Amino acid sequence: MKTPNKNIRRTILQIIHNSGAAHIGSALSMVEILNAIFKSVDIDKIKNSQNDRDRIILSKGHATSGLYATMFHHGLLGEQELSTYFKNDSLLAGHASHHVPHVEHSTGGLGHGLPVALGMAIGARTKKIDSHIFVIVGDGELQEGSNWEAIMLAGTLKVGNLIIFVDMNRLSQVGEVEKSCSLEPLKLRFESFGFDALDVDGHDEDEIYKAIQKSKTSVKPVAILCHTIKGKGISFMENNNLWHYRCPQGNDYDKAVLELRE
């Protein structure tokens, strides 16, 4: 499915617009990644909080509008609760919170989700539980050294039930990731740390889904490098870092709504 998922994007646009929240570009870049992951897991096990559930950790917690929108479309979050996103007295903060049912781990400070995901993966393996741990990190986030501590150990211990998705939209808050502190050659770097690494079109949900199925059979941890576009799906937001923080209002909102019509 190479057409961008407009359903989830409409939900993201709406909850961000309604609450005056930020980080829309970061959420739009990972819609297909999240949707492919949620399609790959047993949602009922998550709903029932079974210990043998697959676990999904959004390490780039600032893009949580994307997580909540995707959870809503998979029946893990109600419409009423979703409508409170980023509003006073809501549990749905501007960063992922585990106080929201079925959110696995609270994130926001970058470089936290991956070590935690590694702990979950080691724990599942120790308990001989057949579940996979999916963690989504930003490419800019990979500049945090804590990630590389976890990547080194995951490779050493051959933690095969850990799957890392790198949302490679190539833009961090201020500018281009490559211009501040280069990650390249990222695929080689992951491989040299004992990972299987795959490049995928981060907006091709089918390709990501297939990569997940392939990753599940790997004895090594896997990094799926998802090449994405920040702000994907709304033309004037694409590759434009203005939309890291700006909230679509007025004419901008109207134009975005038009672009996301079926």
The contact set with other proteins (CB under 8 A) reads 51, 55, 98, 104-109, 111-112, 114-124, 126-127, 129, 133, 145-146, 149-150, 152-153, 156-157
- Taking the complex as a whole, the smallest distance from the CB of residue 220 to other proteins amounts, in Å, to 18
Within 8 A by CB and 6+ apart from 208, the residues are: 32, 33, 36, 37, 165, 200, 202, 224, 226
Cβ proximity of 154 and 125 under 8 Å: no
Sheet with strand 133-138: strands edge to edge = 55-58, 133-138, 162-168, 222-227, 196-201
Nearest CB to other proteins, comparing residues 128 and 261: 128
Closest distance to other proteins from the beta carbon of 146 (Å): 4
d(CA 229, CA 39): 21
Q: How far is the CB of 2 from other proteins (least distance, A)?
A: 34
Angle, vertex CA 74, rays to CA 73 and CA 80, nearest 5:
55
Helices and strands: H and E segment counts in the chain: 12, 5
CB atoms within 10 A of CB 46: 21
Q: Please tell me the distance from the alpha carbon of residue 59 to that of residue 96, in angstroms, as a whole number.
A: 9
Q: Which residue, 24 or 96, is less far from other proteins as judged by CB?
A: 96
CB-nearer residue toward other proteins: 18 or 146: 146
User: Among residues 28 and 124, whose Cβ is nearest to other proteins?
Assistant: 124
Q: Which two tokens stand for residue 161?
A: 């039930």
Nearer residue to other proteins within complex by CB, 43 or 93: 93
Nearer to other proteins, 12 or 67 (CB): 67
Please name which of 128, 131, 134, 101 lies closest in space to residue 116, comparing C-alpha atoms.
Answer: 134
Question: Could you tell me the smallest distance in angstroms from the CB atom of residue 229 to other proteins?
Answer: 29
Shortest Å distance, C-beta 157 to other proteins: 8
Check if the beta carbon of residue 196 is closer than 8 Å to that of residue 225.
Answer: no
Proportion of the chain in helix, strand, coil states, percent, rounded to 5: 45, 10, 40
Q: Which is nearer to other proteins, 152 or 242 (CB)?
A: 152
Shortest Å, Cβ 230 to other proteins: 25
Instruction: Work out how close the CB of 49 gets to other proteins at its nearest, in angstroms, rounded to a whole number.
Output: 11
